[in-house]
Each structure stands twice: as C-alpha cells, then as structure tokens.
Amino acid sequence: MARVLVTEKIAEAGLDRLRGLGHDVDVVLGPSPEDLLDVVRGADALIIRSATTVTAEVLRAGEDLKVVGRAGVGLDNVDVDTATKRGVMVVNAPQSNVLSAAEHTVALLLALARNIPQAHAALVQGRWERSRWEGIELSDKVLGVVGLGRIGKLVAQRASAFGMRLVAYDPYLSPDRARQLNVELMELDELVAVADFLTLHVAKTPETIGLVGEELLARAKPGLRVINVARGGIVDEAALAAAIRSGHVGGAAIDVFAAEPTTESPLFGLDEVVVTPHLGASTREAQDKAGDTIAEQVALALAGEFVPFAVNVSAGEASETVRPFLGLAERLGELFSGLCEGVTPVLEVEYQGKLAEADTRILTLSVLKGLFGGSTEEPVSYVNAPQIAEERGVEVRETSLSAAQDFVNLITLRGAGHAIAGTLGGVDGKPRIVNVDGHTVEIPPADHMLVVRNDDRPGMIGLVGQTLGEAGVNIADMHLGRSADGSAAMMVLATGAAVPGDVVERLKAAAGIDSVNAVNRPGA
C-alpha cells in the first residue's frame, strides 16, 4: 500500500480507483508552499492540477516520491528535470481536454460570427438591437488553422461540417497528411491574407510568443476574425486591439491571456471581442477524464508497470552504453527540427560504433521527443512521440553501423536535404555537434544557435559578427566548417539569446550568404 497525496480537487472516481487498489489517498486541498513541504514527506505519489507548484525543494522534501501526476496537460508547474534526476516519474493526462478545447473553439467561432454574447447583454439590459448585431454565415468562409495537432485537427473536422474552406499553417505536417484531412497547407503570410477566421492551436515557445502581432495583422485580409484557445501570449493583445479599433480586423474571441488570472486587457472594452476566462478545458467531462486518467497512470507507476503518459523516463530503462546519449539524442532532434524549419517526410537515424550493438530504440524516441518538442501544444513524451510522427506523416528509418570511422560512437540524423551528427567527447563525455550538412564542425549544443552557410571568401565572419553585434546579440561560441570540396563554408554559432527574426532576414539578404537557420531550444 502506498500513500497518495492529493492537493487539488480530482474526480472522485479516480480517487476511488486508487483506494480500491489498497492505496492510502490523503487529500490535503490547497496547502501553502510551506505546508506542502511538510505534507509531502512520506508520500509515494503526488497528484496535482495547475495550482500546486512542484519545485526542486518539494521534490527533495518528498524523498519517498515515485511519481508526480498532473491531472491535465501543461507541466509548467512541475520541475521535470529535477524529478528525472531524482528518479521520480512525471505523468500527465494529455488527451483529457482535447475534445473540450476543440468544442470551446467552435463555440467561440459561432459566438464571434453571430455576436451572441453582445446581443444577449443588450437584450437583458432592456435593449432590442436586432439590426446592430447582424452576423455572418460560416458556410463558404475560409478558416485558417495554425497548428494541426490533435485539437487543431478536431476543430478543422467540425468546421468542415459548416461548409467552411480549410487552410492551415503547420510546417511539421506532411502534404500527404494534409490532403487526407482535406486541408490546404500554405505559409502563414499567405494564410492570413485569405482567411476570414484565424484559429490558433500551437505551443507557447519563443518562436510563437507574439506570433499574431502588428506585422502579421497588417498583412491580414480585411475583416479577419481571430480566435485563441491555445496559450496566452501567442496573440499580442495590444496589437490586436489596435487592429480592431482601426477596422482592419473584424473581431476576436479570446480564451487565454498573457497574464492570468486577469481582469484587464486592451481587448475588454471592444464590442467586437468575445472573451472567456480560460475555459477551454473547463467541462465536467474533461475534468473527470483528467482525474480518472491520472489515477490510472499513478497506479501503474506505483505498480512498476508500463506507464503510457510518462513525460520523463528513468535512466534505468536504458543500458549503460545508451544511457549517456539520451540527452544528446534529444538535442540533435531539436537542432534538426530547426535546420529543416518544418517537417521531413523521412527521418533517417543512424548509429555508429558501440551504440550500433546496443538496443537504441529509446535513443530514437529521444530524437523524436526533441524533434517535435517545440511544434505541438501538448507535452511530447517518449510514448506519444511515435504517434505524433505518424500523425505528421514522418517515416522513421533506423540503421546501425558497428564500424565507426572518426568517432567511437556517432548519432546522425538525415532528412529533407539536411544532416546533423553528434557524439560525446572529452573526459567528461560532453555532447558535441561534429557535422552539419556535410560540413565538419565541433561545437557543444546550446540553447540558441545560428547556422550560416556562406561563400568561402574573406569578410564573411566579420559581416556576421558585426550584424549580430549591432543587434545586441552576444556570440558565446563559434566554429567554422568547410564543405568536402571547399567551395562553401559554414559558421555554427552559439548565441547568448535567440537571434531576432529581422536580424536573421538581414543576414539572409547579405551578399555571400547562402542560407541562415536560427535554431532555438523550445522553452529556452
């Protein structure tokens, strides 16, 4: 029998499941951070929602913890890295609110099209304003979907039933998969220029913060209506409010905000805007599913059985040979995603040296975890990564070569005309990137990196350095590489912060520069 500490309200059916298995369910709702340090002592499992923050200090206090369960999707309130280092499994309920979020999106879509909240408010205040709140039909309108993950796909399916034309921006979705969904893929600028409604279903990353801002809205089709049930901060609320006041944007329906909880936003005073207080997952069914799912996952973890929704993995599940390479494999996936700037129909993962003689399946899962980590609104785990690859139409091919050439062990990723290879080097076994697109380099992976391909001629290093310096971007590390025939050169730089998009564009436009890829670690 294990002690399961529950600090937030969970569906009773889930708790009964744990009790039925003989576990001691200790419900202590809403403890303060100080009290949590006391009540977590002696607990084998901790179940939370979004209000409880599981810090490194909490994990140290809960020295008997085997699993932390988050009854929901996001894990911003759990120190997953510390949990992993301490051997504590972290599990969540990634599919519990998918349907609810999709349905709320459709509800806002309809409310926005027909001005339902505004008309209701006027009528109950004694005003019959039938002509003022005239709406529009959804049939034959263009719905632009940004992000075709599970929620985006459900929204697209439901919008199709209204007779809407579906267009989407998702660089991680293959054209074949888009055709199966009856969705036309296009670039974001092209999408906003043709869409009547824009709905967002992407993760909150450095690249997506402020995605819908002044510049994008200026390029939008006049009268565009914006819907956000994804994450606060993806929409620049001030820029959206200004675009609505100017008449260029027709309206918005917003469920999530940059700061929550909030009772102030530049959007709140506009008649064309519908707002809700982060209700995307607030249905009885979603809450019940989350509680039931997390109870099941915690029970499996306590029993030492396979846990489908584990977002981290015990190092003990990998062999002594493979274990040190888990972090490198995930970083290679993250870097490769940035190189490709989207989907690759075929991902080749090659292992050379001693690694080729080991069971490398968990390394391939780590690669996929890194590859998709910044492209989906749900956390990517070792278990759901293959499913996400299948949904995105990515074929994974794994090969092994026991005979290594330049390194004792080497992991290489190839696809979409790009390749990246890495190994562990030095006495401390630190990760090293040793080849990028056929150019030999040697540089540790960093949170923010820039890959520049240029003509092999004097002045190119100075050009890049001066451009970054003028933009206030510090170069932390740099390595130069040449192609095999010596006709082209490459600079791989580690920077102190993400390189702004306009600086990347400035470099791309410079004479002698062939291409520039900014590769940023999700969440960094």
Residue pLDDT, tens place only, 412-453: 999 999 999 999 987 778 999 999 998 888 999 999 999 999
Are residues 132 and 247 both part of a single domain? yes
Active site residue 60: no
* Segment 266-286 mean pLDDT: 94
423 belongs to a structural domain: yes
Q: Identify the CATH number of the domain in which residue 59 sits.
A: 3.40.50.720
User: Which of the two residues, 74 and 471, has the higher pLDDT score?
Assistant: 471
User: Which of the two residues, 318 and 94, has the higher pLDDT score?
Assistant: 94
Domain extent for 128: 98-271
Active site residue 120: no
User: What's the total number of domains in the chain?
Assistant: 3
Q: Identify the CATH number of the domain in which residue 373 sits.
A: 3.30.1330.90
328 belongs to a structural domain: yes
Say if residue 487's pLDDT is above 70: no
* C-alpha span between 357 and 255 (Å, rounded): 51
Are residues 61 and 121 both part of a single domain? no
* Segment 251-273 mean pLDDT: 94
Say if residue 256's pLDDT is above 70: yes
Who contacts 62 (Cβ-Cβ below 8 Å, separation ≥6)? 40, 41, 43, 46, 88
User: Which is the catalytic residue, given 260, 317, 357, 470?
Assistant: 260
pLDDT value at residue 314: 47
Are residues 35 and 108 both part of a single domain? no
pLDDT value at residue 287: 87
pLDDT value at residue 318: 61
* C-alpha span between 36 and 42 (Å, rounded): 12
Are residues 257 and 220 both part of a single domain? yes
Structure tokens at 239: 């820029």
- DSSP-derived pairing of the beta strands 67-70 and 45-48: parallel
Are residues 358 and 480 both part of a single domain? yes
150 belongs to a structural domain: yes
* C-alpha span between 90 and 68 (Å, rounded): 5
User: Which is the catalytic residue, given 49, 70, 177, 231?
Assistant: 231
User: Which is the catalytic residue, given 17, 278, 418, 521?
Assistant: 278
- DSSP-derived pairing of the beta strands 3-6 and 475-482: unpaired
Are residues 88 and 71 both part of a single domain? yes
Taking the model in full, what pTM does it have?
Answer: 0.75
